[in-house]
């Protein structure tokens, strides 16, 4: 897929499901993608992306594989991508409520959540606050908490230094260079690098910083076990951002079926086929 640009060569884009907006009463307008499977009995997934990403950036490499089997809704969280903009301070519980209102507004009785990184805490909070909406949970490259050590607490307290960098005029150029280097030569996603960098630039720096601070306050150790939802977990065994031991602690707390992939935190970009395959496998384990 290509898109026209004002100058220069066309922008190559992957396949994306139809995009929509919905106004959530008292909150604002949210952007989401919605794929409806030809089989009306197919389960519906709710895709919840990670910090600094968007639904497309997180899941575009799995969209087509998931679309073969399931319906799905993919929401952009507050301040991320095309997500809700407003004066409210970013809070993970509010973001979970945003997702619940979207699901209810679409008339979907239950969903299987697929939460990557920050999407994991949002999944758990959705199951805690709206248990009737959650059939099962898939958590990916995420943790039970991010604040157990002093180092972690200090790291999240200093996340505000990201703000000026995200607002910098050189940020898009730096992102293009960084993504190309991350992927390496001849990687199949190299053709999408300009699109990936442009999508990253949609984020609202203020909300992204607040999201990091909210993650630094998140701790599900007291309630995860009580959720009692069928669960499955994708563990990235070379992850330098969310340590594998933390991912395994979450899987244990949820009594989750585990699939491991030997890759780092940006698995969905660096190993797109493995990510898509593992995501489908985890969902199939839960719903057949």
Of 73, 94, 81, give the one whose Cα is nearest residue 27.
Answer: 94
What is the signed CA dihedral for 155, 158, 160, 165, rounded to 10 degrees? Answer: -80
- Alpha-carbon distance of 153 to 158, in angstroms, equals 9
Residue with tokens 């575009």: 60
- Tally the residues of the chain: 288
* Domain annotation covers residue 27: yes
pLDDT range class, residue 87, cuts 50, 70, 90: confident
* Domain annotation covers residue 14: no
What pLDDT is attached to residue 201?
87
Q: Is 203 helix (H, G, I), strand (E, B) or coil?
A: coil
Query: Exposure pattern of 149-168 as b/e (b: 16+ CB <10 Å)?
Result: eeebeeebeebeeeeeebee
Q: Which two tokens stand for residue 4?
A: 């026209």
**Model-level pTM?**
0.92
Average pLDDT in the chain: 91
Give percent of the chain above pLDDT 70.
Answer: 89
More confident residue, 198 or 273: 273
pLDDT range class, residue 251, cuts 50, 70, 90: very high
- Alpha-carbon distance of 128 to 222, in angstroms, equals 11
| Mean pLDDT along residues 254-273 | 97
Q: Which two tokens stand for residue 57?
A: 């950036």
What pLDDT is attached to residue 175?
79
* Domain annotation covers residue 218: yes
pLDDT range class, residue 3, cuts 50, 70, 90: low
What pLDDT is attached to residue 149?
73
* Domain annotation covers residue 220: yes
Residue 284, CB-side half-sphere exposure with 13 Å CA sphere? 12
What pLDDT is attached to residue 176?
86
Residue 174 has pLDDT above 90, yes or no: no
Residue 76 has pLDDT above 90, yes or no: yes
Helix or strand run (H / E) with residue 152: helix 150-157
What pLDDT is attached to residue 171?
58
Give percent of the chain above pLDDT 90.
Answer: 78
What pLDDT is attached to residue 10?
60
Residue 9 has pLDDT above 60, yes or no: no
Q: Which two tokens stand for residue 8?
A: 């220069």
| Mean pLDDT along residues 134-143 | 98
- Write out pLDDT tens, residues 38-49: 999 999 999 999
* Domain annotation covers residue 11: no
- Domain interval for residue 80: 19-287
pLDDT range class, residue 205, cuts 50, 70, 90: confident
What pLDDT is attached to residue 117?
97
* Domain annotation covers residue 127: yes
More confident residue, 213 or 71: 71
Domains held by the chain: number: 1
Torsions phi, psi for 179 (to 5 deg): -70, -40
CATH of the domain at 202: 3.40.50.1820
Residue 171, CB-side half-sphere exposure with 13 Å CA sphere? 17
* Domain annotation covers residue 9: no
pLDDT range class, residue 95, cuts 50, 70, 90: very high
């Amino acid at each position: 897929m290509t898109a026209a640009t004002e100058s220069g060569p066309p922008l190559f884009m992957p396949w994306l499901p139809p995009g929509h907006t919905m106004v959530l009463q008292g909150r604002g307008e949210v952007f989401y993608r919605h794929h409806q499977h030809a089989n009306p009995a197919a389960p519906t997934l709710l895709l919840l992306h990670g910090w600094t990403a968007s639904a497309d950036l997180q899941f575009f490499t799995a969209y087509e594989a998931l679309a073969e089997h399931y319906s799905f809704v993919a929401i952009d969280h507050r301040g991320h991508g095309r997500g809700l903009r407003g004066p409210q301070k970013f809070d993970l519980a509010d973001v979970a409520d945003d997702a619940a209102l979207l699901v209810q507004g679409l008339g979907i009785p239950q969903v299987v959540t697929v939460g990557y990184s920050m999407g994991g805490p949002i999944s758990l909070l959705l199951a805690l606050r709206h248990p009737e909406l959650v059939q099962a949970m898939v958590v990916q490259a995420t943790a039970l908490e991010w604040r157990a050590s002093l180092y972690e607490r200090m790291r999240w307290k200093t996340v505000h230094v990201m703000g000026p960098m995200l607002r910098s005029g050189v940020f898009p150029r730096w992102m293009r260079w960084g993504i190309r280097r991350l992927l390496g030569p001849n990687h199949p996603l190299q053709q999408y690098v300009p699109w990936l960098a442009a999508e990253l630039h949609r984020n609202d720096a203020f909300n992204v910083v607040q999201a990091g601070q909210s993650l630094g306050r998140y701790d599900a150790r007291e309630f995860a076990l009580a959720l009692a939802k069928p669960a499955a977990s994708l563990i990235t065994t070379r992850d330098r951002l969310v340590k594998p031991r933390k991912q395994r602690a979450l899987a244990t707390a949820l009594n989750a079926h585990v699939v491991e992939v030997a890759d780092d935190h940006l698995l969905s970009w660096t190993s797109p086929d493995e990510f898509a395959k593992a995501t489908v496998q985890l969902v199939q384990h839960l719903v057949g």
